[in-house]
Amino acid sequence: MIKYIPELTDVVLEEIPDKVTLAVEISNCRGSCPGCHTPFLQQDLGVELTPEDVDRLIADNFGVNCFLLLGEGRDPEALLRIAAHLREAHPGIARALYSGRTEVEPEIQAAFDYVKLGPYIAALGPLNSPTTNQRLYFHGEDITARFWHKGLENNR
């Protein structure tokens, strides 16, 4: 199972370029970012994110066109089941994943339209910093520079 923090679910405009994104915070993070900005997400907090939750969250936030998992948890099979549900039940909604790892398995990369890789290192800055070590990929293409050109305020 993967868990999310319901009260932190939000619609955001900065995390994925040109998308109205419904973002859910996933706990049980297996990252080890030296400047972790949300250390409580490394704990076993929240409630299970089920396909029914995904359906309800999308229905409650009409108009979103991207579903973003902020973190991947510790259960890759459950993560892939959520991605598969999104693809099958909500084909018009892009699937996005923020991982704190430097790389993810090919099946995880393939399950999402957008994948962010790289630990958060405060000295290098987040995605909107040209010195960032983090990268956002769209179907394998590095689109990180779009954050720099547009001046988006992604600060994760």
Residues in contact with ligand SF4 by the rule CB under 6 A = 29, 31-33, 36-38, 41-42, 71, 100, 119-120
| Cβ atoms within 10 Å, residue 56 | 11
- The helix, strand and coil proportions of the chain, stated in percent and rounded to the nearest 5, come to 30, 20, 50
CB of 91 to ligand SF4, least distance (A): 28
Helix (H) or strand (E) holding 60: helix 51-60
Nearer to ligand SF4, 120 or 137 (CB): 120
| Phi, psi values for residue 119, rounded to 5° | -70, 155
Q: Please say which residue, 31 or 51, places its beta carbon nearer to ligand SF4.
A: 31
Min separation Cβ 77 and ligand SF4, Å: 20
Q: How far is the CB of 25 from ligand SF4 (least distance, A)?
A: 9
* Dist CA 87 CA 95 (whole Å): 8
Q: Which is nearer to ligand SF4, 65 or 129 (CB)?
A: 129
